Chains A and B, each alone.
Chain A
Amino acid sequence: MECRDAKQQIMEYLDGELPSEQNARLEEHLAGCDACTRKLAQQRRLIDGIKTLPRVPAPAGLAQRVNATIGHETVRRPGWGGWVRRYGAMAASIAIVVVAATLWLKDKEAPQRSAVTAPTRRLKGQTTYTDEAPTGTDAIRTAEEEFLDDLEAEQPLAESRPPAKEMKQTKALAKGKAFDELPEAEGLDDDATDRRLFDVVVEADSAEQCLDDLVAFLEERGVDVIARISSRRSVILAQIHEPDRAPDRAAADVRSGIIAQIAASGKFRLVRPGAPHDAVVADAEGKAPGRARPQPPAPLETGAAASSRGVLAILVVGPAASDRSPAAEAQTK
């Protein structure tokens, strides 16, 4: 073999692309040719240098942004109501995204309303309910077949469950109905009713910032954030894993632990689920400036409709940047 031929084959030899019979001939040539051996060593060093370049990890938040986008896209898929019913618990997380995103779209139509004092509206002349329909854990339960069956059969619900009418409204939303098509319901004009459906309610001066902080807080503790809905009613859904123990019980334990950590961190102003808007549990300094009833951080109640499926549902109440009044903006500066 000539050196010229050998040098043309060195690259393929190093890359494992040279046919075996040519491999043997090249190796035979290399054994007696210093120039070609040096050429081989040069190329090998370069390839090794490229191969061992430090790996650059994905930026923080990439997965979260992808998940948030596909969550919104799921809303636009037709016929998913029946899909939710068929696949039960697996669809639980999807259902919450769908419902919350529906609310988000409705919010976009009425951007002037306050974040926490949204007016109720009256439909069909008689029925009063907020257009902030049940979300969070409520929607997760809606995706559970057992619960839907209860609703359809109009069986009596346990006292700990949210009102049946409220559930029915969520179910209608899950089927993709518009708000104006929702079944009539009573008792949905109380903001606290909605909050009771979440595991944690956090009040914030800036919902966006609080969402960022909460997501970071959860991810630092190994909790997967599976959805983040940024709107006037900001929602975070986090998936809790505890594979080594009995699933339902373990998930509840872990969820309680995470909630306790959120409360104890002093970084977030937690409101008792279902409590009036001003029932702030604690803020960063252990007190609530401007609030009448600052209270110690524990014990924190969990939502009455808390899921047993390992999903932590968090509601952040507070103005989004676009909703904030000039006065509110000035206050935060």
Chain B
Amino acid sequence: MVNDAVDDAVLIQRCRRGDTVAFGTLVQRYQDDLFNGIYRMVGDYQDAADIAQDVFLKAYRAVDGFRGNASFYTWLYRIAVNTCISRRRSLAARKAHLHVPLAMGGDEPDCDPPAGDPQPPQAAQTREEYARIEEALGKLPEDYRIVVVLRDIEGYNYAEIAAMVGCSHGTVKSRLFRGREILRKMLA
């Protein structure tokens, strides 16, 4: 059970003194939100579990470096994004034949929908519709998926996403637009 009355800052101070119980409270507090975000970014439940564990361990080891400029959860999430990207690069290096080509940002996308564009997806209200969105999200190239998750699921703004992912503001816009366009076409 989590005592939400205890502020993150207090718990972090205790963590810095080596209080593993305090860190355990932070883990309990954020594990569900963090795991959900990681799962949406990597699309695999077991991989997400491994990454989430790795993220918390990294956070514990690096807690002295947390300055409080952002929220603790944002800091955790930044570690998560870096871990997901590192893992993707590592996997890509080992499994070149499974590499998914990733279109990098820079050029502005064509905003005009193609002629005969199918009907747009309806609002997700049923289990089946959610399943379709999940499937489409899972098929999205990871560079796009990470940005879409950070914006649409986690609610970070473009500048925050650019800082987390390590790219320019324009690249965030481009990836987000392309990612959403791909999703829209897959769901049509």
Contact = CB atoms under 8 A, between A and B. Distances in A.
Contact of A91 (B19, B28, B39, B52): B19
Interface string A57-71: 111001101110111
Interface in B1-52: 1, 3, 14, 17-21, 23-24, 27-28, 31-36, 39-40, 45, 49, 52
A58 B21 contact: no
Given A4-B112, A53-B153, A90 B24 contact: no
A97 B23 CA distance: 14
B120 interface: yes
Interface of B: 1, 3, 14, 17-21, 23-24, 27-28, 31-36, 39-40, 45, 49, 52-53, 56-57, 60-61, 108, 111-113, 120-124, 129-130, 133-134, 137, 148, 151-153, 157-158, 173, 176-177, 180, 183-184, 187
Contact of B180 (A4, A43, A70): A43
Interface stretch (A44-52, A129-137, A291-299): A44-52
B151 A15 contact: yes
Given A56-B45, A63-B28, A93-B21, 8 more contacts: A17-B158, A42-B120, A45-B120, A53-B130, A55-B33, A63-B27, A90-B21, A243-B3
Chain A interface bracket (under 10, 10 to 19, 20 to 34, 35 or more): 35 or more
Contacts of A43: 180, 184
B36 to A, nearest CB: 5
Interface stretch (A6-14, A105-113, A267-275): A6-14
Interface string A108-133: 00000000000000000000000000
A256 interface: no
A11 B177 contact: yes
B180 A94 contact: no
Contacts of A97: 20
A42 B24 contact: no
B24 A83 contact: no
A55 B180 contact: no
Interface of A: 4, 7-8, 10-12, 15-17, 38-39, 41-43, 45-59, 62-63, 65-67, 69-71, 73-74, 77, 80, 83, 87, 90-91, 93-94, 97, 222, 224, 226-227, 239, 241, 243
Contacts of A227: 20
Given A50-B137, A90-B19, A57 B32 contact: yes
Contacts, number: 151
A134 to B, nearest CB: 20
A87 B17 contact: yes
A215 to B, nearest CB: 13
Nearest to B54: A66
A46 B35 CA distance: 23
7 contacts: A41-B120, A43-B180, A51-B152, A55-B36, A58-B34, A73-B60, A224-B1
A38 to B, nearest CB: 8
Given A11-B180, A56-B35, A62 B52 contact: yes
Contact of A63 (B24, B120, B173): B24
A243 B3 CA distance: 9
Contact of B20 (A49, A52, A93): A93
Contacts of A4: 111-112
